Amino acid sequence: VPYLEDSALQKRRVDVWCTAAETLHMAAGDGEEHAHLLAGYFMEIGQQAFVVMGASTYGAKSMFVLTTGKLLADPSQPGQGPDFVWNELQLRLWNPLAGTVSSVKDAAAEMREVGCVYDHTNIWANTQVSAHPWEIHWQLNDPRMWRPFFGMQLAPREIATVQGPPGYAEREELFYEQLETRVEEAVRDALQKARSLGAFVTKPDNKVSRVLKTLLREMPARMEAVAAASLGASLAL
């Protein structure tokens, strides 16, 4: 899913958080949408996941996804809260934009400061002296370390969602072939237009097109290898 700032869709500079269905329908989103989508996928396969807001090497406002290695609480039992008994060596921070993952104990990780953590049950603000992920304590149920939004003063409440389930549909092979042709034509026309402003002649090279197609087919496996190497290096620290 490509990255797209809210300001690119509207003239007014307002931060709009789209639902997962809207993000997939637009086929684009910014940091919040990518983080929510990734956290939702983890929860869909039964894994406990949280969204972490803070600062990273990508900017002062960044969204990462925290996984704990624990199973998600059974939704059929509303009284069952999240399991906060975590082994911090199993905590992972996922960058939803780059696809990289690192241990919370990795001082060289992309996430530099943690402001708050939230899921579908509550929001926890970090009140510790340090905000570095590798220095803070991750016991969200410890009031000395984290201040919950819902708690003794404000009781938790169930709010009905207005979100619809994302729609996934398989298209015929012809659709992707036509899409590939349109993309190639758009790239070729853009290059020709750019070169027409100078003294250069653009001649499309079919060999380059074949090389690019091969690289695109190999990219998913290569990205998985990079993510695995990144996690391995993080765990070795």
> Cβ(140)–Cβ(124) under 8 Å?
yes
Angle (CA) 131 132 136, round 5°: 75
Gap between the Cα atoms of 77 and 121, Å rounded: 13
Mean pLDDT of 88-117: 92
Walk across the sheet containing 101-103 and list its strands: 101-103, 92-94, 59-71, 47-56, 111-118, 123-126, 146-148
Predicted confidence at residue 8, as pLDDT, reads 63
In sequence order, what E strands does the chain have? 47-56, 59-71, 92-94, 101-103, 111-118, 123-126, 146-148
What's the confidence (pLDDT) of residue 94?
Answer: 94
pLDDT band at residue 130, thresholds of 50, 70 and 90? very high
Q: In 3D, which of 88, 101, 92 has the Cα closest to residue 137?
A: 88
Q: Which amino acid is at 4?
A: L
Q: What is the pLDDT of residues 51-94, one digit of tens each?
A: 999 999 988 889 999 999 898 887 666 666 678 889 999 999 99
Say how far apart CA 158 and CA 86 lie, in whole Å: 26
What residues does each domain of the chain span?
6-148, 173-236
pLDDT at position 175 is 83
